[in-house]
Structure 1
Amino acid sequence: MGILQALILTASAAGLSMPAHAQDAGGLRGGIGLEDADQGGASGSGGIAPPYVPISPGALTDPADDDATAFSGDAAASARTTATVASPTATETDDTTTGTVRQPAVDSVENQPLDEGTQRAQAIEGLDRPTDDDPYEALGIRWGSFILKPTLESGVTATSNADSSADGSEAVLSETTLRLNATSDWTSHSASVDAYGTFRKTLSGEEIEDVEGGVDAQMELELGKDYRATGTFTYSLAPESAASPVVIPGTVDEPYAQTVGGTLGLEKAIGKTRFGVTGGVSNESYGDADLLGGGTLSQKDRNATLYTLALRAGYEISPALTPFVEAEIGRNQYQQDVDAAGYRRSSDQYAVRGGLELDLGEKLSGEVSAGWITEEFDDARLESLSTPTVAAELNWSPVRGTDVQLSGSTALEGTTTPGESGSVLYSTSLSVERAMRANLTGDAMVGLGYRNYSQSDGYDFIFNAEASLTWWLNRYTGLVGRVEHETVTSNLPDRESETNSVFLGLKLQR
């Protein structure tokens, strides 16, 4: 009976493996009946059938699998014997994965990086705010497409020479200055305006009550096709100082000098070549002088308007360096054809210059030039003025928080002295602004001037210096201290003067 049960289990195992037999290279075979099993062979041959060897490895169940536990006793042993008898080709192994590869459970994977966007946000009070590069800089007020930055400075000045004249005396003055800076917020063009007004009045000492003010405006327009238009406007009003080329003795106070002018220019770039034309107008007028003995002295014979036209050509040897040459013609037309002394002082001016434009971004920018200028008067009795010229306007920032500015100019000055053509003034100044701390700013300036009077051996030497400190209490309020010195030395009478001043006040900005 045990033998019969073993045969039945063997036949059942053979039936389960029938689909795999279809892969046998020897062709399909039929099932095995009981009668064949009783005879101990297949196909009635009486012998043991050869073991099945599939063409695809792995078609048979691995005896080590859990399914092998379904077999028991001799039947399981018989099935394992059948599965392990294989042809030599069955020993070859194919590493190709044909089934589903089990993946590890999510919980079993440690240290999974989180998406930064899903992290918990901090409370507003705990957020790290961005660092302000200049926490004491004026924020400004938006007005249309401009940013306005007004500043009010008011305090007390103690001076040794209230009117900066040759015979001035000490005084304590109330001094208030209002400044306004406006900068455009345009995408392609740019414009800026700097305006100021200063009012001074005596608190004690020499009686002084004067007003000083000025406006400087600039505009640049990008016209396309490598065209660029520029424009400037300048206005200034101030009492004449001891540094003026004309001194009127015996006056109550210094008369006012007023200058108003502007320029218009057009530039064109053709490859690396630059061409430009600039026209300018500048008018100088002088107020009447009040005399100590009563009455006034008119200065209309000093009023004049200068018209200029300059042509410039340059070549960009690099984005930072552009050498240029410039030729200029001008006409200085006096309001009165003949002055009080009977001279026709209107003149023609001619100038030629060569220079270099610098553009290294915020580090260094500006231009320097040198040349020659000549002025020929309508009156043949007046000799021509002819002199070399130098000019500079450089802005340098050696380190962050430090700005250095160097400027220089050569100017032809008129005169009312009979028989003299005028004078030539060479001037230069060097200023430094330094942010010593976030809330402490220092400024220093040194200026030099030399005036040479034509048709005489007269000269003036002008030296002035200034230093100031601003301690900001917050973004809107600061304390200002300033010291100033000016000295004029000359070999002409009534020309020398010295002025020392100290200012202490409060500065408000927005």
Structure 2
Amino acid sequence: MELRGTIDESAVLPGLVPPEPDPIETGAIGGGPYEPFSSGALWPDEELAADHSIDLSGDRPARRNNEPDTQVTPSLSSDSATAGSRMNTRAEPTEPVTGRQNPRAAALQGGMLRRDDDPHAPIGLRAGTFNLFPSLEQGVTASTNGTSSPGGRSATFSETTLRLSASSDWSRHALDFNGNLTYEGALSGDAESELKGNAEVALRVDISRSVTGHASIAYLAERESFNSPHAVAGVDKQPLQHEITGTAAIEKSLGPLRLTAGGRIVRETFGPARLDDGTTFPQSDRNSTLALATLRAGYELSPTLVPFVEIEGGRRNYDQKTDSAGYKRSSRRYGARAGVQFDRGEKLRGEISAGWIAEDFDDDRLRRLAGLALAASIQWSPIRGTNVFFDASTNLEDGSGGDSGSLRYLASLRVERQMRANLTGSLEFGGAWRDYEAGGHDLTLHGEASLAWWLNRYAALVTRLRYERQTSSDPSREYDGTSIYVGMKLQR
């Protein structure tokens, strides 16, 4: 028996998948009426989201049946300095589609917590939209040179340090705070009770996809070191120094170009030095304000590598037209440097640069202070549980009397290692080279080893051993000292 008739193509038998329309017939290929992005979205990411074949939430994109076994994943650089970089795509093979797909549900923690994460990291406190991380450290230090200065004697003193860091939890922009306050109480020997501290607030504003604003303000208060070039001889206490620093910058991305314009203002004031007989020696002629403007241009060779050039210029004005010796110390400062930024995530990130910096004084009797400017800030994690930090900087230090001042180069290398789940240690090596314009130099080297034994997530026993030595072209500035610290740290 023969059956004749027509097949209704709109009817679909159970278990069968209807065929996709021919892309040529529908105009999807060949310049027909098909428009891939018709959602009216302003940004490419929104246009991709309008096409239901891609899910921007981070899970596997949903595919229609009979689609090729590849997916296109948009990726953007996460660093704010490279915001607005070009979109890169890559094709990744996926398993064939076999019937209904059952995507795996994400963990409630969002994948942020893992079994092997640091078990002694601070939990913090929640305050509105901010996460707070307070800590308190109390201990005792014994030193063979309590003042870290030539002729210093042994001393013992207690140290109490309160630290607080906070960060915002906003969908856009970011506000961070870091501060610490330390009280050193004299117990015996060549030591004086002191209170010192610093604090910094930093704000990042995401103005648009390609424009980011930065602003910060920092405050520092501490007594000037006995080995400073300005140290007053024969005093009981060196002057107390206050420093306020404000910065602002705008970053703009134009294709592969990274442009930054910024400014910095530094205000320094000094209290009087107290002489042995109880009288005071004023230091107000050292009070000054430094204003600098900086321009930087970089080119993104890749999302992880951005070489750059930078120029700066500004002026330092002293409150008093002439100092106590009759010199006009106000000056003009300018410099230029070239370097490279790199960012490979948690593995390696930072920047390094080299250039030239100079300062010309209003008083013709003072010679120009100029020299090589080096700077670096690098974080490297060669293996899990080990972190390496390298920092370097160049500072221009003002002088006194007929001395123009000095260039000071600083560098430090610190290695941190989690030796056991509850035992962490670190080694630090550092140095400072001070080159006087009038001739002569100082070289200061130090080494420090520390251990932290965690009793639980909230408490740890801490110990530090430090050695410091300074050699100089002037033997009267040489000294060395060894100190050991034992204490306990509490954190939340």
Normalised by the length of structure 1, the TM-score is 0.73
Q: Is the 8 A contact 1:243 1:488 kept in 2?
A: no
Query: What are the Cα deviations for residues 402-460 of structure 1, in whole angstroms up to 9, with x where unaligned?
Result: 221111111110011x22111110111111221111111112211111111112x2111
Q: Structure 1: how far apart are the matches of 2:194 and 2:294?
A: 37
The reply on whether 1:341 has 2:328 as its aligned counterpart is: no
In structure 2, relative to structure 1, the CA distance for the partners of 1:270 and 1:207 (3 Å cut) is closer
- Paired residue secondary structure (1:424): strand
Structure 1 equivalent of residue 468 of structure 2:
486
Q: Structure 1: how far apart are the matches of 2:174 and 2:227?
A: 35
Q: Structure 1 residues 440-449 or 342-351, which shifts more?
A: 440-449
Q: Structure 2: how far apart are the matches of 1:130 and 1:288?
A: 54
In structure 2, relative to structure 1, the CA distance for the partners of 1:209 and 1:156 (3 Å cut) is same
Q: Structure 2: how far apart are the matches of 1:225 and 1:289?
A: 52
Structure 2 equivalent of residue 500 of structure 1:
482
Match of 2:302 among 310, 318, 339: 318
Structure 1 equivalent of residue 402 of structure 2:
419
Q: Is the 8 A contact 1:302 1:414 kept in 2?
A: no
- Paired residue secondary structure (2:249): strand
Match of 1:151 among 121, 125, 135: 135
In structure 2, relative to structure 1, the CA distance for the partners of 1:363 and 1:132 (3 Å cut) is closer
Match of 1:198 among 182, 192, 202: 182
Structure 1 equivalent of residue 377 of structure 2:
393
Q: Structure 2: how far apart are the matches of 1:468 and 1:248?
A: 33
Q: Structure 2: how far apart are the matches of 1:205 and 1:387?
A: 41
Q: Is the 8 A contact 2:157 2:191 kept in 1?
A: no
Query: What are the Cα deviations for residues 371-393 of structure 1, in whole angstroms up to 9, with x where unaligned?
Result: 11111100011111121111111
Q: Structure 1: how far apart are the matches of 2:146 and 2:449?
A: 19
Q: Is the 8 A contact 2:231 2:238 kept in 1?
A: no
Q: Structure 2: how far apart are the matches of 1:143 and 1:221?
A: 21
Q: Structure 2: how far apart are the matches of 1:144 and 1:132?
A: 29
CA positional deviation for 1:233: 2.1
After superposition, the CA RMSD in angstroms is 1.7
After TM superposition, the structure 1 = structure 2 runs for residues 431-510 of structure 1, keeping only pairs within 5 Å, are 431-455=414-438, 457-492=439-474, 494-510=476-492
Letter in 1 for 2:404: S
Q: Structure 1 or 2: larger helix share? A: 1
- Paired residue secondary structure (1:252): strand
Structure 2 equivalent of residue 164 of structure 1:
148
Match of 2:203 among 219, 224, 240: 219
Q: Structure 1: how far apart are the matches of 2:334 and 2:114?
A: 56
Structure 1 equivalent of residue 117 of structure 2:
133
CA positional deviation for 1:494: 3.6
- Extract structure 1 runs of 4+ deviating beyond 4 A: none
Letter in 2 for 1:464: H
Normalised by the length of structure 2, the TM-score is 0.75
Letter in 2 for 1:424: L
CA positional deviation for 1:247: 2.0
Q: Structure 1: how far apart are the matches of 2:174 and 2:387?
A: 22
Q: Structure 1: how far apart are the matches of 2:420 and 2:227?
A: 36
Q: Is the 8 A contact 1:247 1:495 kept in 2?
A: no
CA positional deviation for 1:493: 5.3
In structure 2, relative to structure 1, the CA distance for the partners of 1:204 and 1:386 (3 Å cut) is closer
CA positional deviation for 1:130: 6.6
> Which has the larger Rg?
1
Structure 2 equivalent of residue 176 of structure 1:
160
Structure 1 equivalent of residue 343 of structure 2:
359
In structure 2, relative to structure 1, the CA distance for the partners of 1:409 and 1:229 (3 Å cut) is same
- Paired residue secondary structure (2:207): strand
Structure 2 equivalent of residue 298 of structure 1:
282
Q: Structure 1: how far apart are the matches of 2:190 and 2:367?
A: 42
Q: Is the 8 A contact 1:198 1:211 kept in 2?
A: yes
Q: Structure 1: how far apart are the matches of 2:446 and 2:211?
A: 41
Match of 2:389 among 380, 392, 405: 405
Letter in 1 for 2:407: V
Structure 1 equivalent of residue 25 of structure 2:
none
Identity %: 45
CA positional deviation for 1:132: 5.5
Q: Structure 1 residues 269-278 or 287-296, which shifts more?
A: 287-296
Q: Is the 8 A contact 1:324 1:355 kept in 2?
A: yes
Q: Is the 8 A contact 2:150 2:227 kept in 1?
A: no
Query: What are the Cα deviations for residues 194-217 of structure 1, in whole angstroms up to 9, with x where unaligned?
Result: 111111112222342011211133
After TM superposition, the structure 1 = structure 2 runs for residues 264-303 of structure 1, keeping only pairs within 5 Å, are 264-303=248-287
- Paired residue secondary structure (1:452): strand
In structure 2, relative to structure 1, the CA distance for the partners of 1:290 and 1:242 (3 Å cut) is closer
Q: Structure 2: how far apart are the matches of 1:247 and 1:204?
A: 23
- Paired residue secondary structure (1:411): strand
Q: Structure 2: how far apart are the matches of 1:288 and 1:147?
A: 40
Structure 2 equivalent of residue 428 of structure 1:
411
Q: Structure 2: how far apart are the matches of 1:387 and 1:411?
A: 10
Structure 2 equivalent of residue 327 of structure 1:
311
In structure 2, relative to structure 1, the CA distance for the partners of 1:397 and 1:201 (3 Å cut) is same
Q: Structure 1: how far apart are the matches of 2:407 and 2:301?
A: 34
Q: Structure 2: how far apart are the matches of 1:477 and 1:403?
A: 22
- Paired residue secondary structure (1:301): helix
Structure 2 equivalent of residue 253 of structure 1:
237
- Paired residue secondary structure (2:346): coil
CA positional deviation for 1:296: 0.8
CA positional deviation for 1:225: 4.2
Q: Structure 1: how far apart are the matches of 2:265 and 2:364?
A: 25
Q: Is the 8 A contact 1:226 1:268 kept in 2?
A: yes
Q: Is the 8 A contact 1:486 1:499 kept in 2?
A: yes
- 5+ residue gaps in structure 1? 1-54, 57-116, 118-128
- Paired residue secondary structure (1:224): coil
Structure 2 equivalent of residue 62 of structure 1:
none
Q: Structure 2: how far apart are the matches of 1:398 and 1:407?
A: 17
- Paired residue secondary structure (2:237): coil
